[in-house]
């Protein structure tokens, strides 16, 4: 078991809900008193030398949106408590998964 230090500092981070559920189950199974103890155990057991981050390459782009669409996007982001970028990424992923319909022959403006 990880040794509890005499001073501890808070660390705040986001986790998916399914991992939080797993942490609680592990806490009960190991008869640990807190989530902090589970995290300390996990860190003590973790092999940092073998860790390699899965990196997704991102590139920033800039697009033009009509004022009304940009305002709607900002409202929805506030309503959903997410960034506008997250909503745009989600919209693009959904859009890209749809089959491409035959074009009517008109070229779109860029």
CA distance 83 to 64: 17
pLDDT for the residue 3:
58
- Domains of the chain by residue range: 17-46, 67-97
pLDDT tens by residue, 55-87: 888 899 999 999 999 999 999 999 999 999 999
Q: Which residues of the chain have pLDDT under 70?
A: 1-6, 104-110
Percent of the chain with pLDDT over 70: 88
Contacts of 77 (CB under 8 A, 6+ apart): 83, 84, 86, 87
Residues 6+ apart with CB under 8 A from 14: none
Q: Give the pLDDT of residue 4.
A: 55
């Amino acid at each position: 078991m990880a040794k509890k230090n005499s001073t501890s500092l808070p660390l705040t981070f986001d986790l998916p809900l399914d991992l939080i559920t797993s942490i609680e189950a592990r806490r009960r199974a190991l008869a640990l008193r807190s989530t902090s103890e589970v995290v300390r155990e996990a860190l003590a057991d973790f092999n940092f030398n073998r860790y390699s981050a899965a990196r997704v390459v991102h590139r920033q782009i800039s697009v033009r949106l009509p004022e009304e669409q940009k305002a709607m996007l900002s409202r929805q982001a506030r309503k959903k408590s997410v960034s506008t970028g997250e909503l745009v990424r989600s919209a693009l992923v959904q859009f890209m998964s749809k089959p491409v319909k035959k074009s009517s022959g008109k070229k779109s403006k860029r």
